[in-house]
Amino acid sequence: MKTPKILVAAVFTSGLAAGLYLANQEVTMILPVAAQSEKDKPEVSPVLARPRDTYYPNSEDLAPDEMRVIACGTGMPTTRASQAAACFLVELGNGDKFIFDIGSGSAERLSSLQIPYDYLDKIFIGHLHGDHFGALGEMFIGGAIMGRHKPLRIWGPSGPVPELGTAHAIKGMEQMYTWDLAGRAGMIDFRGFKVEVNEFNYKAENAAIYEENGVTIRSFPAIHAIDGPVSFSLEWNDLKFVFSSDSYPNKWFLEYAKDADILIHECFIAAPDLVTKLKFNPETALIVGTQIHTAPEAFGKIMSEVKPRMAVAYHFFKDFDTTAAVNDRIRKTYNGPLSLAEDFMVWNVTKDDIKVRMAVVEEATWAPPAGTPAGPPNPADKEQFAKDKGVPAEALQYSELIAGGFWGGVEDALRGIYKEASEALGQEFVYPADQKAKDK
């Protein structure tokens, strides 16, 4: 994937009056610290950093009253290098972070934001389509390996029957990873390889499903495919974020999205492009593009009704030959502030201002700064895992055949690494085979 283009936010916020736009610019400029304290210094200087229109992860503090939203997936079920599927990260000035939907391909977007994984432990899933929770496994396994040494907390709706609910889906995911987990228990800090599932009633209207640390997250029903999908609102510090996940325009959204500062709603690719670009047949394009999802014209109607401070459209392939159609169709029914989302778009939201920028990310990110340090492996985890899963403990040991295949030719070389570590860290690490011989 190429590093995303640096885009000037103004392109995506058309509809603001020029005066308002200019007024916003004054508020949004990020001045270097030195210039902030010495206002009379010239704005252009050969030695001071200039205000910038890009967001570099892990380089800006959030103000105590500020919310930052980052698009980590804005596309469709078919992920591609330029766009992952649905995922939005919300970061708050109190330090809390929330993930809304975790669509296929979004985990690598999250990783490039250089956030310690133990802060990425709360995921809210609007519905159980793959493009809204397809990267959950990567966050579950990869997140635990990378430093989330506590259970992954997941919130998601019930379904019309238990088999169609979030708890069932997550149980299935854990089952799918049985071998993966069995192979890690006892070998690595195992605290993160657990999930906490909070399934809530999909029919509840504006019910609080999360209330911690001054943050309230509510859910309300959405209309999409079959019963089960929901939309979310997050309120904190007099700021309101609303996320539709997927839905046909509905009465609950109009009611409970009111007073949103930033409102993210799905907006599907224009129907003609579903036929010409996605090769849908016309009947399918019309059903999917207008009845299962929200067409751009309908997206505009919702925004004209709810009037958020910033409307964000996502869930379409945003290409040179599709974006104009989406924009034109939205503008038939809405003329307020608008962002046509793409991956790595960033919104900084305060009561006075909403600043829209693109993030510039490092493609080859290493592990983000560690949150809580990893502990040593605990052999007891293996036994416990066998017990929990109802498999014989021997099944988690190598069989005689496999154990007999170890090549002794590397042992001296490997022993050297243990010696090296022992000397470097001033602690004795005993080579496993030697330990075994000692124990006998």
Residues in touch with Zn ion (CB under 5 A)? 129, 131, 246
Q: Strands, E, within 279-426: which ranges?
A: 310-314, 338-340, 345-349, 354-359
Locus of tokens 């570590």: 421
Length of the chain, please? 440
Shortest distance, position 150 Cβ to Zn ion, whole Å: 29
Nearer to Zn ion, 259 or 319 (CB): 319
Nearer to Zn ion, 68 or 265 (CB): 265
Shortest distance, position 92 Cβ to Zn ion, whole Å: 25
Write the CA distances from 435 to 21, 196, 380, 425, integer angstroms: 69, 36, 17, 19
Nearer to Zn ion, 16 or 286 (CB): 286
Nearer to Zn ion, 101 or 381 (CB): 101
| Cβ 126 vs Cβ 118: under 8 Å | no
Shortest distance, position 246 Cβ to Zn ion, whole Å: 4
Write the CA distances from 274 to 247, 294, 295, 418, integer angstroms: 18, 13, 11, 59
Shortest distance, position 86 Cβ to Zn ion, whole Å: 6
| Cβ 103 vs Cβ 134: under 8 Å | yes
CA dihedral 366, 371, 372, 377 (to 10 degrees): -20
Shortest distance, position 93 Cβ to Zn ion, whole Å: 30
Nearer to Zn ion, 66 or 246 (CB): 246
Nearer to Zn ion, 126 or 186 (CB): 126
CA 360 to chain centre: 17
Shortest distance, position 68 Cβ to Zn ion, whole Å: 24
Shortest distance, position 77 Cβ to Zn ion, whole Å: 7
| Cβ 132 vs Cβ 156: under 8 Å | no
Q: At what angle do helices 296-306 and 323-331 cross, to 10 degrees?
A: 40
Nearer to Zn ion, 77 or 93 (CB): 77
